[in-house]
Copies of this chain bind each other. A is one copy, B any other.
Amino acid sequence: MASLTESLQNITMSGGGAYSLATRGAEDVINAATPIVLEALDSINIPENQDLFTFSDMGTADGGTSLKMVGNLIHAIQEKNPGISFNIVYSDQPKNDFNGLVQTVLGLGHFPSYLETTENVYPLFSANSFYKQIIPDNTLDFGFSATAMHWLSGKPCELSNHVHMVGADGEEYLRFSEHGKKDWETILLHRAHELRKGGQLVLLNFCRDEKGKYLGNTTGVNMFSNFVKIWQDFLGQGRSSEDEYKRMTLPQYYNTVEEFSAPLKNFDSPVYQAGLRLKHIETRITPCPFAEAFKDHQDAQRFAEEYIPTIRSWNESIFFGALDQNRALEDKEKILKDYYHSYQDQVLVSPETHRMDYVHAFTVIEKI
């Protein structure tokens, strides 16, 4: 099994807000969840004499997608507790681009920052991933994470016939689901330590929903099946090897609602015993913003040119890492260029069948 560092080292997003620009949908998800965030916030009793509120955004990448929501949260709290100060703790794994994150949060990148309209707000950055404790015991008021916790702490095994656990079966599926279960428990246990009593978590995680839908598989082409099909074509053409094909395995797990809920409902679970309780869980589909825009503009070329980068932003580095180490850099780059080009050609032929809708479980958790 790959170590956390090994498995995460290729998952670096590009800097200065570029990731957020390419993933407008991920920001839509967070904005859609803002009412749930504010409701969870409302249920926290912040005493008048509490002078510090600590918020944490875990797996934040470049920090761009949550800027508006964090601003809303700060304003909502300061309306009731005008004198209060904030620690806003942004965390991601050590290979994240912290320079880009700093630029975005401080409003020096592509987006305006809430720091321009707020006072007594102290942004802090941590290079502890959510598989570690990020801040000391009993210091967290509100924890948040969006579209991040599907990344496993390691790869349990290669999938022989698919790139993602959504298409795995048999022993391989079991190994992924066991790993996913353990990782979810680890994530929650660290949060149980960090949270004060009464503190809340709002986690927006990719999931497989009640109807079996998941990212890029809501209607039309199944994005993940398409990833596999194109790699199979490359294998058939001799452009990639059997070993490479097998290594094209994303270290991700999409939990179901039942899997997300289990440790928060089961009396015997160490997570339950540490005081975490499920307050709310629902699944949500957030429409692919590029496919939605295509309905209006009907420009297939424009759609394809917007759509492929949003896919590429989160899986190119994994596919790159799966290519044989002995290949020359230019060779690797050519393969990936052609790979996404094949996908883009398909989008141009039948644009109306492609869309990367986001399928999330919105989860609200309380520490009692």
Contacts and interface: CB of A to CB of B under 8 A. Distances in A.
B122 A125 contact: no
A121 to B, nearest CB: 9
A85 B136 CA distance: 6
Given A102-B98, A103-B94, A127 B135 contact: no
Interface string A198-236: 000000000000000000000000000000000000000
B133 A123 contact: no
A212 to B, nearest CB: 40
A87 B137 CA distance: 11
Interface string A110-140: 0000000000101111111000011111110
A189 interface: no
A130 B351 CA distance: 53
A94 B99 CA distance: 8
B124 A102 contact: no
Contacts of A124: 89, 124-126, 135
Interface residues of A, number: 31
Interface centre among A97, A99, A133, A138 (most CB of B within 10 A): A99
A52 interface: yes
A87 B106 CA distance: 21
A108 interface: yes
A242 interface: no
A125 B127 contact: yes
B52 A87 contact: no
Nearest to A126: B124
Contact of A98 (B98, B134, B136): B98
A86 B135 CA distance: 9
A137 B122 CA distance: 11
A85 B137 contact: yes
Contacts of A120: 136
A31 B99 CA distance: 29
A243 to B, nearest CB: 29
Interface in A74-114: 85-87, 89, 94, 97-99, 101-103, 105-106, 108
Contacts of A127: 102, 105-106, 123, 125
Contacts of A137: 51, 85
Contact of A87 (B99, B125, B133, B136): B136
Contacts of A122: 126, 128, 133-136
